[in-house]
Amino acid sequence: MKLWMLFIPELYCLLMGVVFFGLAMVARPNPRRDYFVALLLASIGVVVALASVKLEGSLFFEAYRVDLFSQVFKVMLAMGFFLVVCLCTELNGIEERHHPEFYLFLTTCTLAMMMLVSSVELLTIYVALELSSYSLYILVPLRRGYGIDVEAGIKYLMVGATSSAVMLFGLSFLFGVTHTTYVVDIIHVLPNVIGTPAAILGLLLTLCGFFFKLAVFPFHFWAPDVYQGAANQVTAYIASASKVAAVAIIIRMVSLVGGNSQYLVDVLVTLSIASMTLGNLVAIVQKDMKRLLAYSSISHAGYVLIGILSMSPTGYASAIFYALAYLVMNLCCFLVVVKVAQDGSDLKIAQLAGLHRRSPILAMALMLAVFGLAGIPPTIGFTGKFLVFTAAMEKGYITLVIIAMINATISLYYYIMVVKAAYLLEPDVAQPQLAVSVPTKVLTASLVAVMVVFGVFPTYLLEVARAAARMLL
């Protein structure tokens, strides 16, 4: 097998980027064409990612590792990309002439994240992370006609740049302590020196950059603004694919410690509880659907951290599972957001009123997705939470689990408010039926099916996640 074959998913993304770049060169805008090209390429991308799941090996002087862990995440990223592209039928939030650029930056971002999950060298990680961030920085202000997008963009950039500067500073300390930039070597060295201030400071500061991606408290400040300010599809992408990549890299970094640092665990526990609580509490008072989802994503970052801070194979596996579950549920929510706010505007929760009449299938999907986010069985969200909590409990963190469950109860409140809006409230002015095309229905139904089926039969996904997690050690 040729070495470059290991790089196929990334190469394919690169190819896609080239295509979109070409489309962007063409003068006359044609959204339909752009959409179908993107859809076609993205679907092939999923196939390519799936096909390369079994690959294993390393590239670029050991700086780049291809294993089950990375490939699983690549599949998730490709899926996320594909699903976001699926949502772009009514890409009304972005000017038509910018559609190719939109796809282009989505592609580069996906490419960067794919590289991120495979990177096992600090510089590679840094470069990949920055590439993905920069693509998003540009995507956010692409929105048309709404004053808030540029503000959101600049805030995103400023917070992001600061965080990455902090991360870089931390990386320098890691380098200083371990004398190497290769993760494989760090794994061997770091657990021995993790007690020293420099090492712990380095790791902590490094994690800041990734926490920023995942929107963990206190690096979450960009999330609500960006979710609200960016176009709906962009938000969907940020909320799903980008979070998945962040989970991957945090798992990678935390696993460096080898479970030796009580201090790091304490920090992670604190941040996790703070994220959950803050996210859930503030979400209660939100009126805007995307802003609500932003706060919910902050709290979910807390839940994922529970799995990660267990620092055990089961913990990492549960975090991987949770990331996947979160991807699916969140995309399902955004599907509804995109379809209900067809003109690309922001969606107020109150605007969901009467959804059960306007489109029963969307209402049902929304309800299931939202209950999934709340962790109600038999959805995949429950299974994810269950696994995460099991992992934490194996380490004896019962207080953490109870706090997390109480948080889940609090979160139920605002999720139910969403369901209530969709199922119970009637709009002030009678709204027309929502035209839901057949492909959309199929997409919705399949998302719902994935949520329920993998919630009820988690075995397969769980085994994959476990196998992936074993690759780390």
Partner 1 sequence: MTSSFFHNPTLLAAAVAALLPFFTFALIMVFTRPYPRLSAVLSIGAVSVSLICAIFLLGSHWHLEEPIQYTGKWMISGDIHIPFGFLLDQLSLLMLTIVAVISFLVQVYSLGYMAGDPGFARYYAFQSLFAWAMMTMSIAPNMLQFYIFWELVGLASYLLIGFYYEKFSASEAGKKAFVMTRFGDIAFFLGLLVVLLHFGNLNIQDMNSVDVTARMSPALITLSAILIFGGVVGKSAQFPLLTWLPDAMEGPTPVSALLHSATMVAAGVYMFGRIFPFFSNSAVAMTTFLTIGTITMLLASTMAMVTRDIKQVWAYSTISQLGFMVMGLAAGSYFAGIFHLTTHAGFKALLFLCSGVFIHEYETNDFFEIGKYGGRGLKVPIICMTLAAAALSGLPPLSGFFSKEAIMGALAEQHNPVWLWAGLLGAFLTAYYSFRLIFSILFPKKVEAVHQAEHGGHGHGHEAGHHHAGIYWVMAWPLIILATITLVLGFFHTPLENFLVGHHGGGEAHGGHHAWLLYVAVGLALSGVGLAWLEFGRKGAPQVGFVEKVEPISALFANRWYIDRFYRLFLDYFIYGTVSSLFTRNDRRVIDGGIDGMCRATVGTGWALSFLQSGMLQYNLMVMFAVLALVALYFFF
Partner 2 sequence: MSSLYTYLFIAALLFSLGIFGVFQRRSLIGMLIAIELMLNAASINFMAFNKFLAPDPIVGQIYTLFIMGIAAAEAAIALSIIVALFRRLRSINIERAQELRG
Partner 3 sequence: MEFANFPFLSAILLSCVVGLLVILFIPDERKMLIKWVSLVFSGIAMVLSIYLFFAYDKTKGGFQFVEKVLWVKSLGINYHNAVDGFSLPMLMLTGIVLFTGVLTMWELETRVKEFFAFTFLLVAGVFGVFMSMDLFFIFVWYDVSLFPMYPLIAIWGSTRKEYGAMKLTLYLLAGSALILPGILYLFVNSGLNTFNLVTLMQPGTFTPFQQKFAFILLYLGFGILAGVWPFHTWSPVGHVAAPTAVSMIHAGVLMKLGAFGVLRVAIFLCPEGWQYWAQLMAVLATCGIVYGAFVGLAQTDLKYVIGYSSVSHMGIVGLGLATVTVEGMNGAVFQMFAHGVMTALFFSSVGYIYDKTHTKMIPELGGMSKTMPVASGYFIVAALAGIGVPCLASFWAELLVFISAFKTYPIRGALAICALVVSALFMLRVVQRTFYGEKRDEFDHLPDVSFGLGIPRMILVAVIVFFGLFPSVMIDVIQVASIPFINGLP
Residues that bind partner 3 (CB under 8 A): 356, 371, 376-378, 382, 386, 389-390, 393-394, 396, 398, 401-402, 405-406, 408-409, 412-413, 416, 419-420, 423-424, 457-459, 462-463, 466
Per the document, the length of the chain is: 473
SS3 assignment, position 124: helix
Is 123 among the residues that bind partner 2 (CB under 8 A)? Answer: yes
Which letter, b or e, does each residue of 247-279 get, where b requires 16 or more Cβ atoms within 10 Å of its Cβ? bbbbbbbbbbbebebeebbebbbebbbbbbbbb
Is 466 among the residues that bind partner 2 (CB under 8 A)? Answer: no
Rounded distance, CA 402 to CA 424, Å? Answer: 31
What one-character DSSP code corresponds to residue 432? P
- Under 8 Å between Cβ of 8 and 48: yes
Considering only residues 4, 147, 428, 433, which one is a binding residue for partner 2 as defined by CB under 8 A? Answer: 147
Is 21 among the residues that bind partner 2 (CB under 8 A)? Answer: no
Nearer to partner 2, 182 or 263 (CB): 182
Judged by beta carbon distances under 5 to 8 A according to partner kind, the member of partner 2, partner 3, partner 1, none in contact with residue 406 is partner 3
**Binding stretches for partner 1 (CB under 8 A):** 154-155, 158-159, 162, 166, 197, 200-201, 204, 208, 217-219, 221, 224-225, 263, 266-267, 270-271, 274, 278, 280-286, 410, 413
Residue at token pair 């994690």 = 207
Considering only residues 11, 39, 44, 161, which one is a binding residue for partner 2 as defined by CB under 8 A? Answer: 161
Is 406 among the residues that bind partner 2 (CB under 8 A)? Answer: no
Q: Residue 187 carries which side chain, given as an amino acid letter?
A: I
Segment lying near partner 2 (by CB under 8 A), choices 212-220, 224-232, 246-254, 349-357: 224-232
Judged by beta carbon distances under 5 to 8 A according to partner kind, the member of partner 3, partner 1, partner 2, none in contact with residue 382 is partner 3
Judged by beta carbon distances under 5 to 8 A according to partner kind, the member of partner 2, partner 1, partner 3, none in contact with residue 3 is none
Judged by beta carbon distances under 5 to 8 A according to partner kind, the member of partner 1, partner 3, partner 2, none in contact with residue 463 is partner 3
Judged by beta carbon distances under 5 to 8 A according to partner kind, the member of partner 2, partner 3, partner 1, none in contact with residue 389 is partner 3
SS3 assignment, position 143: strand
What does residue 26 show for φ and ψ, rounded to 5 degrees?
-70, 135
Rounded distance, CA 189 to CA 86, Å? Answer: 45
Nearer to partner 1, 102 or 219 (CB): 219
Segment lying near partner 2 (by CB under 8 A), choices 84-92, 152-160, 395-403, 460-468: 152-160
Rounded distance, CA 407 to CA 410, Å? Answer: 5
In order of 104, 124, 133, 309, the CA distances from 138 in angstroms are 11, 21, 9, 33
What binding mask, one character per residue, do residues 178-217 give for partner 2 by CB under 8 A, x or -? -xxx------------------------------------
Considering only residues 153, 209, 372, 381, which one is a binding residue for partner 2 as defined by CB under 8 A? Answer: 153
In order of 151, 442, 463, the CA distances from 313 in angstroms are 41, 36, 12
| Residue closest to 80 by CA, chosen among 45, 112, 37, 108 | 45
Nearer to partner 1, 284 or 473 (CB): 284
Furthest-apart CA atoms within the chain: distance in Å: 67
Q: Which of residues 285-304 bind partner 2 (CB under 8 A)?
A: 285-286, 291
445 DSSP β-pair partners: none
CA angle at 208 for the pair 172 and 274, rounded to the nearest 5°: 150
| Residue closest to 114 by CA, chosen among 153, 185, 65, 157 | 65
Burial of residue 285 (number of CB atoms within 10 Å: 0-12, 13-18, 19+): exposed
Is 386 among the residues that bind partner 2 (CB under 8 A)? Answer: no
Is 274 among the residues that bind partner 2 (CB under 8 A)? Answer: no
The per-residue DSSP string of 183-205 comes to HHHHHHHHHHHTTSHHHHHHHHH
Residues near partner 2 (CB under 8 A) are 123, 126-127, 130, 134, 137-138, 141, 147-148, 150-155, 157-158, 161-162, 165-166, 168-169, 171-173, 175-176, 179-181, 224-225, 228-229, 285-286, 291
